[in-house]
């Protein structure tokens, strides 16, 4: 089970994410309370193992800026979390994680979109991205997604992650607010979440 901890903004937290055994770390380069400057993300990235895959989260960003930031930070994956057309995705020279809100996606869109992983999230509120709430996981059955490419997001936390995995059977899970306390990444929750998510595969 792959685990992605998203919205990391400090080296201290990044080290916790790495030491806890996460597979992906997410840096948000789009409007968000977890937004990070590319220069700061690049400095954090210098201290991380190559085995921890660095994901840049973008919302309706230009191809030029995506490439510039990816090169500066040393990103391994590009996560497109906006309304990016498939024509843009085909021009990005990095593996793609394409995020869709569960209420804005259909089988035809998924079929035509070039991606390495498909991330399905809860509908956003103020910003693009999840609301911190879960959605009806049974809706995923209507999309006929290859579960070997599915990353589940939206309201996941240490209390529901096992149920989510048992119900959905994704290849990986993505969490941000679910490992926070009062809007700040909680290092103990990060450890607990990864332990819960990977329990069956240990």
Residues 91-116 have pLDDT tens digits of 999 999 999 999 888 888 888 899 99
Q: Name the one residue in this structure whose structure tokens are 């989510």.
A: 164
User: Is the pLDDT score of 194 beyond 70?
Assistant: yes
* In contact, 126 and 145? CB cutoff 8 Å: no
Annotated catalytic residue: which of 83, 121, 166, 174? 121
Average pLDDT of the chain, as a whole number: 93
Q: How confident is the model at residue 197 (pLDDT cuts 50, 70, 90)?
A: very high
121 is catalytic: yes
Q: How far apart are the C-alpha atoms of 29 and 100, rounded to whole Å?
A: 17
- Domain range annotation of the chain: 2-201
Q: What pLDDT, on the 0 to 100 scale, is given for residue 73? A: 98
Task: Kindly give, in sequence order, each residue whose CB lies less than 8 Å from that of residue 23, ignoring residues fewer than 6 positions away.
Answer: 2, 3, 4, 52, 53, 172
Task: Kindly give, in sequence order, each residue whose CB lies less than 8 Å from that of residue 136, ignoring residues fewer than 6 positions away.
Answer: 102
Residues 108-149 have pLDDT tens digits of 888 889 999 999 998 866 555 555 679 999 889 888 889 999
Annotated catalytic residue: which of 6, 116, 182, 186? 6
Residues 21-65 have pLDDT tens digits of 999 999 999 999 999 999 999 999 999 999 999 999 999 999 999
User: Is the pLDDT score of 8 beyond 80?
Assistant: yes
Q: What pLDDT, on the 0 to 100 scale, is given for residue 201? A: 47
Q: What pLDDT, on the 0 to 100 scale, is given for residue 61? A: 98
* In contact, 151 and 162? CB cutoff 8 Å: no
Fold for domain 2-201? TIM Barrel (3.20.20)
Q: What pLDDT, on the 0 to 100 scale, is given for residue 107? A: 84
Specify which residues 99 forms β-bridges with. Answer: 119
């Amino acid at each position: 089970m792959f685990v992605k901890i998203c919205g990391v903004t400090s080296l201290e937290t990044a080290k916790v994410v790495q030491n806890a055994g996460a597979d992906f770390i997410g840096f948000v380069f789009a409007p968000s309370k977890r937004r990070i400057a590319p220069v700061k993300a690049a400095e954090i990235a210098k201290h991380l193992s190559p085995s921890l895959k660095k994901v840049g989260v973008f919302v309706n960003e230009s191809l030029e800026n995506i490439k510039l930031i990816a090169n500066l930070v040393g990103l391994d994956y590009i996560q497109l979390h906006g309304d990016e057309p498939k024509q843009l995705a085909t021009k990005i020279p990095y593996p793609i994680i394409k995020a869709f809100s569960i209420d804005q996606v259909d089988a035809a869109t998924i079929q035509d979109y070039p991606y390495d992983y498909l991330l399905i999230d809860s509908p956003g509120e103020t910003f693009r991205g999840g609301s911190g709430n879960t959605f009806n996981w049974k809706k995923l059955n209507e999309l006929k997604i290859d579960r070997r490419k599915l990353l589940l997001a939206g309201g996941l936390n240490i209390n529901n992650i096992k149920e989510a995995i048992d119900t959905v059977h994704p290849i990986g899970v993505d969490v941000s607010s679910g490992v926070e306390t009062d809007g700040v990444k909680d290092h103990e929750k990060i450890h607990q979440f990864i332990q819960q998510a990977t329990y069956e595969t240990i």
